[in-house]
Amino acid sequence: MAKAGHTKSGHVDTFARDNLPPREQWPEFKFELPDLQYPERLNCVTQWVDRWVEAGEGDRSCLLSPTETLTYAQFHERINRIANVLTRDLGMVPGNRVLLRAANNPMMVAAYFAVIKAGGVVVATMPLLRAKELSYPLVKAKIALALCDARLADEMEKAKAQSAELQRIVMWGTTAPDSLEALMMKPGYEKFTTCDTAADDVCLIAFTSGTTGEPKGTMHFHRDMLAICDSYARHVLRAEPTDRFTGSPPLAFTFGLGGLVLFPLRIGASTVLLEKAGPDELLDAIAKYRITIPFTAPTAYRAMLGKLKDHDISSLRKCVSAGETLPKATFDAWHAATGIKILDGIGATEMLHIFIGSPEHEVRAGSTGRPVPGYEARILDDDGNAAPPGTVGRLAVRGPTGCRYLADDRQKKYVQGGWNVTGDTYSMDADGYFWYQARSDDMIISAGYNIAGPEVEAALLTHAAVAECGVVGCPDEERGQIVKAYVVLRAGMTGDAAMTRTLQDHVKATVAPYKYPRAIEFVAELPKTQTGKLQRFELRRRAAEGASRKLAS
């Protein structure tokens, strides 16, 4: 396999390749795993769809939703029709970026694959983003064309008015003569010749969810899209063609892209796409569609626990959690109720998907797991050197995927010495299992003690009165920082002084007493990103403002 950057690009528009970081700032990539050997010329869509049709498996169930069901052959034709529209009607050339805006549905996935099959670069966006938020990727990635679900047209049109780059929006879900569906129906559009792209051509720019400020555009190659299937999905998830997937993360979130689309289609399985996928909707879908593998966040598993008795979940085989650390209390409760060990994992938009996580027979409750086959991970000390087992430090990882930011100076911060430094604080035990402590900037230092906010959150969540919580460091004149908890109580509970003392005593009895929250604020809801991640930076801001007002008074 040729070195990345040395193969001939299939792109006519070279913007993506021109705006990759300098080669010396890339992480070191590892391809030793036999499953990760890919040819120099590769268009990844052929490996998810075309191969099954060519093998005579076109009648297999592929995409299901409440409104339609597509076989692999039907999905293949839809992709081809959209690819023809893109290239023959809309003037897209290989390398152009195309913004997609829709909820999780079959049309969104077809558009996604059509852009890539035609040699384009997908920029998928969350359905709830507003015009200002949409304008950022439009400008950053210089996007001239967008495909959008007509139900989300308002903010898309506003974004177009604010962004000189965006020249045209094509809607679907409308009867207009220039709708995507109308254009797709032209004679001869059912066949399309796949664009001859290089394995190291960019096919996806995924923007981070903004938990740490301004989003970053992460650039991924055709081979990266297959690598996450042939590392995590093949060696950890170990799904089968008879499995049926579903989940809650948006397809614009790479956790959702992999878990709900790429993983099942790589093995010829089927997936159920839900536009609304809260805990209630997930439970209904599991029963209705006989789901075997759901992907969702720890908070959803926790919310579903109290409702299991009213739903048929007997079809479940495996459950996957990511996005936030999985509290041991939630793992234990789900295992006790279902007999299933939730597969925890840590991934990153920069890495595309999960890079640490273990299969069921190797799971250790409370641990994220061991590095996924094909990846290496280590703990770095304060000097950037590999730390011995038992040391708390920064997590570093490398493998077949890695960080390449779109024209962003933060590349140097994320990639250090050939390793991706994820911004997470971990420890590794003598058996090579990794134990999450906190985001590196979530570590609270109080009177000389290092306290991991998520550990305190996990302790609070074991109390029956707590529905959700977020824990951050709050500036304190005497101790430097104190632990402050923002708590959402369950219905019927009262956030008063007595509850504060109850929760403080509970934490003291659960973890080391010095970790207890010296301040607790009861709130109606917590700030979150579009992907459901807790925005701890927003809680830190609130805590700092509150401390300043207190000091001023």
Amino acid at 212: T
Q: Domains in the chain, please, with CATH?
A: 451-552 (3.30.300.30)
C-alpha–C-alpha distance, residues 553 and 387, integer Å? 45
State which amino acid sits at residue 189: Y
Q: How confident is the model at residue 185 (pLDDT cuts 50, 70, 90)?
A: very high
Whether 440 shows a pLDDT value over 80: the answer reads: no
Q: Provide the pLDDT for residue 213.
A: 56
Question: Residue 439: is its pLDDT beyond 90?
Answer: no
- Per-residue pLDDT band for 359 (boundaries 50, 70, 90) equals very high
- pLDDT score, position 329: 86
Give me the phi and psi of 300, to 5 degrees please.
-70, -40
394-430 exposure pattern, b = at least 16 Cβ within 10 A, e = fewer: bbbbbbbbbbbbbebeebeebbeeebbbbbbbbbbee
Mean pLDDT value of segment 443-462: 85
Question: What value does the mean pLDDT take over residues 538-543?
Answer: 93
Lowest mean pLDDT among 190-204, 375-389, 468-482: 468-482
List CB contacts of 34: < 8 A, sequence separation 6 or more: none
pLDDT number for residue 3: 41
> Averaged over 170-195, what is the pLDDT?
97
Predicted structure pTM score: 0.87
- Say if strands 343-344 and 346-347 run parallel, antiparallel, or are unpaired: unpaired
Structure tokens at 533: 């991640």
- The reported pLDDT for the residue numbered 346 is 95
| pLDDT tier for residue 444 given thresholds of 50, 70 and 90 | confident
As a whole-number percent, the residues of the chain with pLDDT over 70 amount to: 98
Residue 553 has what pLDDT? 64
* Mean pLDDT, range 503-514, rounded to an integer: 90
| Lookup: tokens for 18 | 């021109």
Tens-digit pLDDT profile for residues 363-380 = 999 999 999 999 999 999
pLDDT for 102 beyond 90: yes
Q: How far apart are CA 370 and CA 378, in angstroms?
A: 10
Q: Please identify which residue in the block is written with the tokens 């369950």.
A: 490
How does pLDDT run across 188-198, given as a tens digit for each residue? 999 999 999 99
CB-based burial, 34-70: b 16+ in 10 Å, e otherwise:
ebbebeeebbbbebbbbebbeeeebebebbbbeeeeb
Per-residue burial over 244-269, b = 16 or more CB atoms within 10 Å of its CB, e = otherwise:
bbbbbbbbbbbbbbbbbbbbbbbbbb
pLDDT-derived band at 210, boundaries 50, 70, 90: low
Q: Taking Cα atoms as reference points, which of 341, 332, 357, 124 lies closest to residue 232? A: 357
DSSP-assigned letters across all residues of 15-81: HHHHTSPPGGGSPPP---SGGG---SB--THIIIIIHHHHTT-TTSEEEE-SS-EEEHHHHHHHHHH
User: What pLDDT was estimated at residue 133?
Assistant: 85
| CA 120/CA 97 separation, integer angstroms | 6
Question: What does the mean pLDDT of the chain come to?
Answer: 94
**Where residue 1 falls among pLDDT bands split at 50, 70, 90?**
very low
Q: Average pLDDT in the 73-83 region?
A: 98
**Pairwise CA distance, residues 517 & 457, whole Å:** 10
Tens digit of each residue's pLDDT (9 = 90 or more) over 309-352: 999 999 999 999 987 778 888 899 999 999 999 999 999 999 99
